[in-house]
Structure 1
Amino acid sequence: MSEVKQGRGYTEEHEWAEAANGRIRVGITDFAQVQLGDIVFVEFPQIGAEVEATQPMGSIESVKTVSELYSPVTGRVTKINEALLDAPELVNSDPYGEGWIAEVEVDGDAAEVVAGMLDAERYEAFITGK
């Protein structure tokens, strides 16, 4: 069973979002990293790039496949997780912590944006089919 963390918003494309310091930190879920297998490369969005919810903002390459990384929110990329440049496997070992991918500044309240997404219970029901 994949881990689903409370206090985050989730998408049906298996990204998570967490409000932090007025911005939204973004990553892929534990379920997604298990499905992908060993992550070998992360293609990041450019800092300053405008991203749109549900649209591609980068990609994740694993030993099995290359998968699009979809933005869970609309806003401007303010930071990327540079640790993943040298250690993309952090996405596998700690998808909700050190394996985060980018931070996005949104219009309005970040916490409200996250609250409008799937919560942990609804995402868990989505991935388990229950």
Structure 2
Amino acid sequence: MSTPTALAAFAEHLGGCRRLAGEPSLREIERLTRQAGRPYPRATIDDKLQGRTVPDWGFVEAFVAACDRNAGGRPGTRTGAACGPGRCGLLRCRPARPAGSCSRLSPTRWICCGGG
């Protein structure tokens, strides 16, 4: 899979998580990531959702947690989660990285085990 195609597919997974969480606005996702201590500005969130830039793993975790909270999950749990394993599957994906490499990766280097 080419990098643009892989990035678009991953962005679609992020969008699916957002849909499952009730379509929170970018402003709401921004608020929820800030509230959780992992702030991301709306422009960054939008870039990732549109597939314009590659998300690092920290963003994926913060985004999924924000969607989870919007859907009624309590912080640190998957109770009532929209985006836990078995739903959109993003938390079952992990970046495939060689030892010592950075966390910003080509989307073709993600390993997804099921999901979606």
TM-score by length of 1: 0.28
Tell me which protein shows more strand as a share of its residues. Answer: 1
The structure, 1 or 2, with the larger RCO (C-alpha pairs under 8 Å, 6+ apart) is: 1
Query: When the two structures are superposed, what TM-score results if normalisation uses the length of structure 2?
Result: 0.30
Structure (1/2) with the larger helix percentage = 2
